[in-house]
A = this chain, B = another copy of it.
């Protein structure tokens, strides 16, 4: 199992957008340049965030992306869901229903294996939903206070 690489890009991108402020629209190319990433692919990730309603996108000169909500109202779960989709990692194929002569009980609820897996995924989602962009932002600022100014400088240039 492997999470898409774009998730890392998206989270860092959202953080940088948070530091840039909700007024300043930042082009995908500039966000990508900050980490020396291919701008077209970074653009793809930002498009996904836009479709999910996490960022606004404006075309044309002076355009770019900016956060659609306050960092307090964006959770890591939102970002992950925007990039990875909302489907569960474990997808029950109901192989139990393919037994030769099934032992009756047609409508016996959901597969118990599936339920166990979903319980675990719920714990994962809950933990992701408990972390907001603002939390993460605050932690980075405590750990490296010079980062916000550095980001703003590079994104404004």
**Copies assembled:** 2
Query: Whose C-beta in chain B lies nearest to the C-beta of A147?
Result: B103
Chain A interface category by residue count: 35 or more
Residues in chain B near residue A103, CB distance under 8 A:
144, 146-147, 150
Across the interface, A120 reaches (CB within 8 A) one of B93, B117, B128, namely B128
Assess whether A156 is interfacial by the CB under 8 Å rule: no
Which stretch (A19-27, A53-61, A104-112) binds chain B? Answer: A104-112
List, in ascending order, chain B residues with CB within 8 A of A120's CB. 76, 124-125, 127-128, 131
User: Does any Cβ of B come within 8 Å of A70's Cβ?
Assistant: no
Q: Which residues of B contact A128 (CB under 8 A)?
A: 116-117, 120
